[in-house]
């Protein structure tokens, strides 16, 4: 067997580090520690997604998780998603209130238009509103013209900022789908952090042509839709996986080197009567521990930014 010619092993651009300029090469164990308020070891960040799936979804360029599945009008799936905004979210609110936890609601702008009382309910509880795009059928992707995407972002933010009275500093793209321009356009529109990148346990800075944007750790592995709907695990499995996630982060963390425990929820999934117990039991386990700081995404980011080198 002959060996490859040497020229096959030569690559003039090969180097240690990243293959793009969005963020700097950085391994978590090598970074300076971050101390959360009150000597907390783990910052608990709960993110319920308040979504609207149009009944006549086009599903372009792909169908997001939760999209309509059968022939129009797919009332079976449409009304199940609608259940989350009418019923399920209030079970989540009750579960969080038992522990004094304030959430960051990732909200489609269409929800603010269709359910203004739901925006009010979130704001009255001291929840943060994160922009989750216009609706679940307006995806951000590489085939979207930059001007069209800019208008989509601006429209979404204007609706949510007016409805909530908040700055709306965070952004979660529908289905976590982005174009190459999305981070630039988000920062241009005044967004401070984005939840689409799932490659870290802590915040980190991203480079955009409009300045620094930040990525927040918003994992999909322990998302209720991933575990319960896509992977067909049981409710006890979901509870146990949340607990396992927390236990490892808590064990790794120290008061001078904290971690973020993010929990992504969908009210039409975990807000069902037979499922809410799994969330309640996981929260009970987490909040029994000393050194857990329940916070919004903006609060976590500000605490992190305040300790970064100049």
Beta bridge partners of 264: 47
63 located within any domain: yes
Give residue 257's domain range: 36-305
Per-residue pLDDT of 112-137, as tens digits, reads 999 999 999 999 999 999 999 999 99
153 located within any domain: yes
3-state secondary structure 130-199: EECCCCCCCCCCCCCCHHHHHHHHHHHHHHHHHHHCCCCCEECCHHHCCCCCHHHHHHHCCCCEECCCCC
10 located within any domain: no
> What pLDDT shows up at residue 10?
78
- One DSSP character per residue, 78-136 reads HHHHHHIIIIIHHHHHHHHHTTTPPPEEEE-HHHHHH-HHHHHHHHHTTPEEEE--S-T
Q: CATH number, domain at 142?
A: 3.20.20.370
Give the phi and the psi of residue 111 in degrees, each rounded to 5: -70, -40
When pLDDT is cut at 50, 70 and 90, the band that residue 151 belongs to is very high
Per-residue pLDDT of 205-257, as tens digits, reads 999 999 999 999 999 999 999 999 999 999 999 999 999 999 999 999 999 99
- Predicted TM-score of the model (pTM): 0.94
Residue 159: both structure tokens together: 């609706």
122 located within any domain: yes
pLDDT over threshold 60, residue 198: yes
Strands 204-208 and 211-215: antiparallel
Count of domains for the chain:
1
**Averaged over 90-99, what is the pLDDT?**
98
99 located within any domain: yes
Beta bridge partners of 214: 193, 205
- Please give the share of the chain, as a percent, with pLDDT higher than 90: 92
> What pLDDT shows up at residue 2?
64
259 located within any domain: yes
When pLDDT is cut at 50, 70 and 90, the band that residue 11 belongs to is confident
13 located within any domain: no
Average pLDDT, the chain: 96
44 located within any domain: yes
Sequence-separated (6 or more) residues with CB below 8 Å from residue 149: 140, 179, 181, 182, 185
Handedness of CA 41, 219, 216, 122 (dihedral sign): negative
Q: Pick the residue with more confidence: 179 or 1?
A: 179
**CA 51 from centroid of its chain's CA atoms:** 13
> What pLDDT shows up at residue 1?
55
Residue 108: both structure tokens together: 């489609």
Per-residue pLDDT of 37-64, as tens digits, reads 999 999 999 999 999 999 999 999 999 9
């Amino acid at each position: 067997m002959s060996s490859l010619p040497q020229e096959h092993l030569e690559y003039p651009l090969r180097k240690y580090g990243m293959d793009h300029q969005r963020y700097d090469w950085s391994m978590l164990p090598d970074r300076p520690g971050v101390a959360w308020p009150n000597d907390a070891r783990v910052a608990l960040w709960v993110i319920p997604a308040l979504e609207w799936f149009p009944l006549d979804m086009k599903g372009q360029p792909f169908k997001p998780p939760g999209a309509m599945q059968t022939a129009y009008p797919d009332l079976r799936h449409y009304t199940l998603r609608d259940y989350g905004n009418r019923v399920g979210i209030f079970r989540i609110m009750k579960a969080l209130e038992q522990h004094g936890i304030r959430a960051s609601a990732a909200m489609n702008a269409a929800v603010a238009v269709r359910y203004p009382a739901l925006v009010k309910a979130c704001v009255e509880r001291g929840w943060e509103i994160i922009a989750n795009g216009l609706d679940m059928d307006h995806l951000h992707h590489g085939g979207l013209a930059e001007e069209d995407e800019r208008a989509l972002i601006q429209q979404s933010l204007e609706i949510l900022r007016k409805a909530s009275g908040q700055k709306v500093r965070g952004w979660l793209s529908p289905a976590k789908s982005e174009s190459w321009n999305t981070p630039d356009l988000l920062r241009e529109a005044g967004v401070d952090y984005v939840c689409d990148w799932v490659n870290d346990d802590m915040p980190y800075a991203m480079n955009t042509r409009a300045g620094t944007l930040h990525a927040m750790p918003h994992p999909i592995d322990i998302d209720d839709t991933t575990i319960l709907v896509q992977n067909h695990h049981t409710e006890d499995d979901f509870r146990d996986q949340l607990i396992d996630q927390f236990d490892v982060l808590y064990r790794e963390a120290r008061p001078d080197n904290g971690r973020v425990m993010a929990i992504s929820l969908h009210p039409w999934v975990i807000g069902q009567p037979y499922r809410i117990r799994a969330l309640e039991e996981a929260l009970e386990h987490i909040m029994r521990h000393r050194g857990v700081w329940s916070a919004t995404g903006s609060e976590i980011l500000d605490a992190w930014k305040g300790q970064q080198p100049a």
